[in-house]
Every structure is written in structure tokens, then in C-alpha cells.
Amino acid sequence: MKKIKKQNAARLLEKWQKEFTVFVPSKASGVAQMAVWDGQDLAFLEHNRNTVIPPKANFLPSIQKMFGFRKEEGGYVLEPTDEDPPKQLLFGIHPCDARAIAIIDMVFKDAYEDRYYLSRRQNTVLVGMACTSPYDNCFCTSLGFGPADATDVDIMLTDIGDSFLIEEITDKGKEVLAGAKDVMAATPADEKKARAVKESAKARVSTKIDTDEIGKRLPLVFDDRKFWEEISAKCVSCGICTFLCPTCYCFDINDEMLRDGSGARYRNWDCCSFAVYTKMPTENPREDKWRRVRQKVYHKYAFYPELFGIIGCTGCGRCIRQCPVNWDITQTLNSLPAGTPTKKQETQKSS
């Protein structure tokens, strides 16, 4: 393993800036999110907490131009855009958000190849930072990983005091560290310190949910309208929980056209909490709020495991922290009854 003194971290970032657009956690815009490093501010090296806007925005922007078009004699001519975005390096991404990107990959890379997403994803290096101050409502350890899990990053850093311990996880990670002058070999004492930091962070994740057989326990309440009405009573359908969820990826598509016939197609984040989300000319299967809340929970905890073999939630806690009425997904999950579903319950799908 390797390490770098914190006082030299800026030089490593400057080296990376020559090849990549370097993003770091930043509050400069008033809300914590990944933002292009200004080459000066290093507050993020000490303030090691999750951003409010998740890094999914670096791959699936909240509004994205897909292509332009213009009307000509004989039809419309398309003007492709953003085919080859610049290489980006995300510094300080937390393990839960890196896991979220791996989860979204299953939709945009494996199930369907979304070139807008993939062009960014393939041009990105993820430099993770082990999370040392989880929030009270983080529950990542219930989802099979933890605040220092390095599975989904290219390089993992752990704060060990005056230095960061560096783990090179992927070939891409090794490549970007090659030739970095300030990076040196870690000592056994450094590695011991990092292990202690990681263990302590893990022990501080105090919120727990029982995920055992959750995909089987959810069908027990699928038809229980009273259960879902109570669960969803205080939700005001504002959509914050899904916009800020690092694994939510739904988008809507709109065309904007000027009177001269030129225009562009955009896609923007959409949200299953909105009553119009499933509105169709003849019906709306999720006009009732309780159905929409049920869908949100089911998508992450029943449908995602069924489709991809993994729960589509990372336990990042954003949907709890940012909800204006303190709706808490862990309370819903922890209030599921124990038991075995009937055949009919097992095969039910969302409506």
C-alpha cells in the first residue's frame, strides 16, 4: 500500500488536473455537491461527509441536452451533441456513492447501453475516500458493505492523521498514480492505523435494517392498503428523496423548439413520487400517494434484487436527512411483518 502526506495532496490533484477535469466535494454553490476543483480550496480534505447532491449528477446530469435539430426542406436534421465529454476524476467519493454508480451501471450499461451515460462513465476515475463520520441515519452496513468498502472505486484513500493511506484497486487507479512524486510506500504502522480508522467508522453506523429475506417479506404487505396509507401519510410528494437518491435514475424527455424550426431534445430527472409520473391519456395507475410510496420502496428492495440480484439502495440516508417531513425509509422497512408470503403474494407486481 501507499500513502501521501495531506500537505502534498494538492500537488497530486494538480498532476491529475493536467489530464482530467477534477471534481471534489464542494459547498461553493451553497449546496454540497461534486464541483470542479478551483485549485485552491482544500476544505474537502478535512470535511469528510457525504454531499447533498449525489455524484450520479456527474454521469446523469439533472438536465442534459441529448441533441439539437433544425428543420430543413425535406425534414429535420439532427445535430449530435456531447459525444465525447472530457475525462473526469471524482476525488473523495464515498463508498456508498461509488456503490450507487455500480448499481446504476446495471441499468445504463448492462440492461441497456445508454451512450450519454456510458461516455461519461468510461471516461471517469473514481478516487474514493473512506467515510469516517457517518451520519446518524446512514445504514450502509445493513446493505452488505461499509463506510470504507473499496469495491467500487479505482483508488481508495483513508485518512490516517497527517496522511492518506492509498489503496490501488483497479488498473485505472494504478495508472493515474504512476509517477506521482509525493506518493510513497506505506509502513505497517500506517496500515494498522487505517484498519483502526475503518473499524471505528463501521462501528459508528448505528442505524440498522433487517434485509434478511426482504424481497419475500415485502409481498406480505403489497395489498395492505392501510399499511401503505399509514406509511405514506406525511409524505408531501415533493420528490426530494428521489432526486437526491444516488440510485434513482428516472428521466423525462422534452423537446424545445423555436419558431424557426430549430431546437433541442433534453432529458431531465423525473420522479416516481409525482402523481403525473405515470399519467397516461386514459388512466393513471399510481394516482394515489400510497401507491407511489409503495412503488419507491418496492423498486429498491424487491424489483431491483429480482432483476439484478442486488438491493437498489446504499443506505446513504439522504432520503431521510433531506425529507421536509422526516419520512424515514428505515422505519418502513423495519415495520414489515415477519412471515412467509403466499404464492399469490409472491407473484404480485406493482400497479
**Which residues of this protein are in contact with ligand SF4, per CB under 6 A?**
235-241, 245-247, 273, 300, 313-319, 323-325, 327, 329
**Per-residue DSSP letters for 16-54?**
HHTTSEEEEEE-TTSS-EEEE--SS--GGGT-----SS-
Specify the residue, 92 or 312, whose C-beta has the smaller distance to ligand SF4.
Answer: 312
Specify the residue, 82 or 288, whose C-beta has the smaller distance to ligand SF4.
Answer: 288
CA distance 146 to 315: 10
Least separation, in Å, of the C-beta of 29 and ligand SF4? 20
Least separation, in Å, of the C-beta of 13 and ligand SF4? 28
CA distance 30 to 337: 41
Specify the residue, 89 or 148, whose C-beta has the smaller distance to ligand SF4.
Answer: 148
Least separation, in Å, of the C-beta of 350 and ligand SF4? 16
301 to 77, 126, 152, 241, 325: CA distances (angstroms): 43, 26, 20, 15, 22
- 64 near 267, Cβ under 8 Å? yes
Specify the residue, 39 or 324, whose C-beta has the smaller distance to ligand SF4.
Answer: 324
Q: Which residue has the cell 450499461?
A: 109
Here the cell at position 180 is: 506521482
Least separation, in Å, of the C-beta of 223 and ligand SF4? 22
Helices (H), the chain: 9-17, 95-105, 115-121, 171-177, 188-203, 214-217, 225-232, 240-243, 289-298, 304-308, 318-321, 329-334, 343-346
182 to 13, 134, 230, 318: CA distances (angstroms): 11, 29, 56, 35
Nearest of 16, 57, 61 to residue 33 by alpha carbon: 57
Least separation, in Å, of the C-beta of 69 and ligand SF4? 34
Specify the residue, 51 or 163, whose C-beta has the smaller distance to ligand SF4.
Answer: 51
Rounded to the nearest 10 degrees, how much is the dihedral formed by the CA atoms of 339, 345, 346, 351? -130
Least separation, in Å, of the C-beta of 253 and ligand SF4? 22
Least separation, in Å, of the C-beta of 328 and ligand SF4? 9
Least separation, in Å, of the C-beta of 236 and ligand SF4? 4
Q: Which residues of 260-282 are buried (b: 16+ CB within 10 A; e: fewer)?
A: eebbbbbbebbbbbbeebbeeee
Specify the residue, 183 or 320, whose C-beta has the smaller distance to ligand SF4.
Answer: 320
